[in-house]
Structure 1
Amino acid sequence: MGPVAAASCPALMVAAPASGQGKTTVTAALARLHAREGRRVRVFKCGPDFLDPHWHQLASGHPVHNLDLWLNGEADIRARLHEAASNSDLILIEGVMGLFDGEPSAADLAVKLGIPVLAVIDAGSMAGTFGALVHGLRHYRPGLPWAGVLANRVASEGHEKMLQASVRGEDLGAAPGGIDAGWLGGLRRDAGFALPERHLGLTVASELPDALERLDALADAMAATPLGQLDSAGLQRWSVPFAAQAERALAPLLQGRTVAVARDTAFCFTYPANLDTLRAMGAELVFFSPVAGEPVPDCDAVWLPGGYPELHAPALAAGTRCRESLAAHIAFGKPVWAECGGMMPLFDGLTLADGTRVPMWGLLPGEVLMQPRLAALGPQRWDTAQGELRGHTFHYSLTESPLAPVAHTAPGSRFGRPEAVYGQGPVRASYFHAWFASNPEATAQLFLQETA
C-alpha cells in the first residue's frame, strides 16, 4: 500500500493582539454559521484550555481538541489536523492569549503548519490606530501566513468605515471574489450577544439554557460581514495541505479495566483526547456525577478531573453517598487520580473566596483556600518512572496539607513553579492537569497502581 496523500482543507488561525479581544466569540460565530449552512466544521483550541472548547463543540457539533507544540508535539498536531482535513469543509483554530504570546505561541503554530491568521481586534476605543495594529501583527514576524483582520465591538457604520480606511494599502491587496485580503469586516458591539465569564474564564456552555440562541445571534452578526458571506468556494483561498502521519498504536495497558470518571458541572475540565487515550489503551469508561450525589460506579479506578468544586461546595459536602463509596473504593486499595479541582474535595475543608469554610470529604488531610488572584499558570512536566508526562497548571486556590508530596512536577517555562503530587494509599492528587497522550505508559500507571 502506497503512502497516504495529504488532505487539504480551508483553515484559519483566529488570533488577536491580546486576551479579551473576542477570539472565542469570532471562532464560535464562524463555526455556528458554517455548521448551520451544512458544512462540516472542526474547531481546535491552541494551548491548554477546557472552557472555550465547550462553546466550540456546541457551535460545530464535533469534539474540540487542543493543539500545543510543547504539550502535544508536532507529530500529534499534524495527525489530528490531517484527520480533520480528511473529513471537513473548514478548520478553525482559536489562538491563545496574544498572537505572539507564550512559548510556544499561536504564531509559532501558524508558521510551522502554514495556517493563515485571521486577526481579531477590539476596535471599541480606536480609529486610525487600528491600522497600525494590523500592520504590526502582519509584519512583526516574517513568513507569517495572513488571511486578514476582523474588527470587533464596532460602534457604528461610520466607525467601521474609519477602521477599514486605516488599514494600509499593502495590508489589503485585492483577492479573488472582490474581497480585500486585509479587511474582512466588523462585528457591532450592540449586536445583543455576549459569552458570559467568571474567574477561570468563560461560563461552560451547557450551564446556560440559551447557549445555542447566543451562538445563533453571533452567527447572524457574522453573516453580515464580508468574511461571513464567503461560501465554500470562497473559503478555498485559505486551503492548507496537511500531510498524513504514521499511526501510533497504543499498547492495551488498561485492557479489561473500568475507569469511572466524574463528569458534571463541578468536574468538567476533561480533554476529549484524554478520554480517547484511555479507550485506546483498552479501558472501559463509565461516568458519574458527584454534584448529583451519585455513588462511584463499580470500577477498577477513578479519575476526578478538574472543574469548579468551589461553585458547588455545599452540594459536594452533602453528597454522602459519593463520599462513602469513594472512601470504600480507596479502602479496597483501588487507584484514584485527582486533578486540580478534582483534588480539592478530597481534603478536609474548602474555604471559599468570601471566607466561608465548607467541610469536604476528608479523604486526604489538609485544607484548600480560594485566592483572590490566579495562584499558578503554565506548562508542567512530571518525570515519572515511565518517563516524562506533560501537562499544565491553572488554579485560583492553594492547599495546605501535612502530607509530604510523593513527587513534584517541573515547570515547562522559566516563569513557572513546581506543583506537589500528593499520595496516600492508592490516591494520587495534584494541581497538575495531565495530557495523557504525551506518555500513555505513565498515564496507565495512574490507573493501575493499587495498594493492599
Structure 2
Amino acid sequence: MPTCPALFIAAPASGQGKTTVTAAIARLHARQGRRVQVFKCGPDFLDPMIHAAASGQPCYNLDLGMCGAADGAWRLARAAADNDLILVEGVMGIFDGEPSGADIARRFGIPVLAMIAADAMAQTFGAVALGLARYQPDLPFAGVLANRVAGPGHAALLEKSLPPGMNWYGALPRAAATRLPERHLGLFQAAEIADLDERLERLADVLADTLAADLPPPVDFAAAFAPAIPPRLAGRTIAIARDAAYGFIYPANLETLTALGARRVFFSPLAGEDLPACDAVWLPGGYPELHAPALAQKRRFWADLKAHVAAGKPLLAECGGMMGLFEALRDKEGQSHAMGGLLPGETRMQARLAALGTQTLDLPEGRISGHTFHYAYAETPLAPALTAVKPDGSPGEAIYRQGRLTASFLHLYFPACPDAVAGLFGA
C-alpha cells in the first residue's frame, strides 16, 4: 500500500483563489527539494499548466465523472510511490456538484485544507471554516488557510476566530501582484504569464513560515496499477499541434498515446511550422479566436492539412482545433477570418457560455468520455455523424466526420477508452 503526505485544497466557492494557493504550496515544497505531484479535480486544462510550472511535474486530472474512480486510484497510487507530497486542487465549492470535491477527498481519504477568501470578512471567517469542517461529519479535514488578507492584523483576527483545535495554515495577502491573470475560459496559459516564476516565488515566500511549509500527515492509498494497453498504434507517427492557439492537452492523453505505441511529434501552426511527416494529426483545443488573424495567414498549413485528409489519413480536431477547420472564424468583435475550409460554414464567438460539462460519446471505435466548455458555436450545413450524450441522457455535442476527419467541440479523455483512440488514429 503506497503512502504519501497529501492535502486536498478546497474552498466554499469558485473564484476564491484555489489555484493560487495550491501553486504556492507546490512551489514552497518543490524548492525545498521535495517531489510534488499535483492533481486538479475536474476536466480543467489551464490550472494544471500553472501547477506544472509550480511543481516541475505534469499535473493530472482527478475526476470521478470524466476520468472515473479507477483511473484516479492508480494515478494516486503511482504518485504516492514516487513523490514526497501530493496536492489536489478541488473544483468549484467543496460540496458543489455530483460528484463533488468532498466526494473525491472522502473516497481517497485525502485531508481537506479549506482555503477561504477573507477579503470581505472578519470573525465570520471562523464560522465559515467550522461549517466547512462539519457540514459532512465524515469529511477528512486538515485545517484552514486564508486568502486575500489585508495585513498581519487582519490575519491575526482571522486566526483568532477559528474554533479550538482547528489548524491554521497561514494567509496570503490581497496584493494584486500575487493573483494570476484571467480571461473568458479561465486563467491565462502558463506560458503567457511572463513573470509566472517570480509570482510563484513570492507566493511561496509568504507561506514559508506557516504550517503550509510542513509536510502533512501521510495518507495510505490503495494499491492500484495502470491498465495494460496493447500497442495498437506501434509504428505510427501522430503530429500534435501545440502552441498558444492549440494548448489544451491532458498529460494523461499524451501518456495514452505513448502506451499505445505511437510516436508523438509536436509542431506549432501559429509559428508557421510545417505539418510534420505523419500518419495522423491531432489538433487540440485552445484559443484560436485570440490568434485568428495569424492563423488566417497560414495558408500552407491549411493546404497541407487538406492534403492529409484527402489522402485518407486520420485527423482529430477538438473544440478550438475544430474551429479552424471551418471556412471562417468570426471573433467576438464580429470580424471574420478565413480558416482552413476543410468543413463548410463558420464558427462564431459569443459573449455567453455555449456549453459546459462532461459528456459521453459512442464512437464505432468505442465509448469514450470527454468534456465541453466553449463560448463559440458552429453554423454549418454539415449534418452531425454522431451526437454525444450528457449525463442526464439528453443530446450533447455534434460530432462531424468526413472520411478519417473527426471534429467536435468535445475534448476527449483518451485513458477512458484507449481502443477508441487507437481507432481514431489507426490505419
Counterpart Cα distance in 1 of 2:225 and 2:304: 43
Counterpart Cα distance in 2 of 1:349 and 1:192: 38
Q: Residue 224 and residue 202 in structure 1: after superposition, are their counterparts in 2 closer, same or farther (change >3 A)?
A: same
- Counterpart of 1:3? none
Counterpart Cα distance in 2 of 1:236 and 1:124: 26
Counterpart Cα distance in 1 of 2:121 and 2:62: 32
Residue type matched to 1:438 in 2?
A: A
2:124 paired with 1:129: yes
2:62 paired with 1:67: yes
2:292 paired with 1:313: yes
Q: Deviations over 1:14-38 (max 9, x none)?
A: 0001111010001100111111111
- Among 58, 78, 101, the alignment partner of 1:83 is 78
2:12 paired with 1:17: yes
Please tell me whether the aligned partners of residues 294 and 321 of structure 1 are also in contact (alpha carbons under 8 angstroms): no
- 1:442 Cα deviation after fit: 1.0
2:189 paired with 1:194: no
- Among 23, 26, 42, the alignment partner of 1:31 is 26
- Among 335, 344, 348, the alignment partner of 2:314 is 335
Which stretch of the first structure deviates more once superposed, 181-190 or 278-287? 181-190
Q: Residue 302 and residue 30 in structure 1: after superposition, are their counterparts in 2 closer, same or farther (change >3 A)?
A: same
Identity %: 58
Please tell me whether the aligned partners of residues 343 and 431 of structure 1 are also in contact (alpha carbons under 8 angstroms): yes
Residue type matched to 1:192 in 2?
A: A
Q: Deviations over 1:109-155 (max 9, x none)?
A: 10011100001110000012211211111111120000101010111
- Counterpart of 1:409? 388
1:46-445 aligned at under 5 Å gives the runs: 46-169=41-164, 173=165, 181-190=166-175, 192-228=177-213, 230=214, 235-237=215-217, 239-413=218-392, 417-445=395-423
Residue type matched to 2:47 in 1?
A: D
- 1:425 Cα deviation after fit: 2.2
* Structure 2 unpaired stretches of 5+: none
Q: Residue 292 and residue 191 in structure 1: after superposition, are their counterparts in 2 closer, same or farther (change >3 A)?
A: closer
Q: Residue 152 and residue 413 in structure 1: after superposition, are their counterparts in 2 closer, same or farther (change >3 A)?
A: farther
- 1:209 Cα deviation after fit: 2.2
- 1:417 Cα deviation after fit: 5.0
Q: Deviations over 1:389-416 (max 9, x none)?
A: 01110001011110000000001257x7
> Secondary structure of 2:266's partner?
strand
Q: Residue 342 and residue 191 in structure 1: after superposition, are their counterparts in 2 closer, same or farther (change >3 A)?
A: closer
Q: Residue 195 and residue 247 in structure 1: after superposition, are their counterparts in 2 closer, same or farther (change >3 A)?
A: closer
- 1:81 Cα deviation after fit: 0.9
- 1:191 Cα deviation after fit: 7.1
- 1:383 Cα deviation after fit: 1.4
Residue type matched to 1:133 in 2?
A: V
- 1:106 Cα deviation after fit: 0.9
Residue type matched to 2:413 in 1?
A: W
> Secondary structure of 2:178's partner?
coil
Please tell me whether the aligned partners of residues 77 and 225 of structure 2 are also in contact (alpha carbons under 8 angstroms): no
Counterpart Cα distance in 2 of 1:146 and 1:322: 52
> Secondary structure of 2:138's partner?
coil
> Secondary structure of 2:343's partner?
coil
Residue type matched to 1:447 in 2?
A: F
Residue type matched to 2:276 in 1?
A: P
> Secondary structure of 2:248's partner?
coil
Q: Residue 317 and residue 58 in structure 1: after superposition, are their counterparts in 2 closer, same or farther (change >3 A)?
A: same
Please tell me whether the aligned partners of residues 187 and 225 of structure 1 are also in contact (alpha carbons under 8 angstroms): no
Q: Residue 261 and residue 207 in structure 1: after superposition, are their counterparts in 2 closer, same or farther (change >3 A)?
A: same
> Secondary structure of 1:20's partner?
coil
* Structure 1 unpaired stretches of 5+: 1-5, 174-180
Residue type matched to 2:194 in 1?
A: P
Deviating beyond 4 angstroms after TM superposition, the runs of 4 or more aligned structure 1 residues are: none
Counterpart Cα distance in 1 of 2:226 and 2:185: 35
Which stretch of the first structure deviates more once superposed, 243-252 or 15-24? 243-252
Q: Deviations over 1:135-190 (max 9, x none)?
A: 11111112000010101011122212221222222xxx2xxxxxxx4322211112
Residue type matched to 1:435 in 2?
A: Y
Please tell me whether the aligned partners of residues 292 and 319 of structure 1 are also in contact (alpha carbons under 8 angstroms): no
- 1:222 Cα deviation after fit: 1.6
Q: Deviations over 1:323-372 (max 9, x none)?
A: 11111101111110000010000001111111111111111101101010
Equivalent pairs, count:
427
> Secondary structure of 1:394's partner?
strand
Please tell me whether the aligned partners of residues 129 and 166 of structure 1 are also in contact (alpha carbons under 8 angstroms): yes
Counterpart Cα distance in 2 of 1:29 and 1:71: 27
Q: Residue 61 and residue 407 in structure 1: after superposition, are their counterparts in 2 closer, same or farther (change >3 A)?
A: same
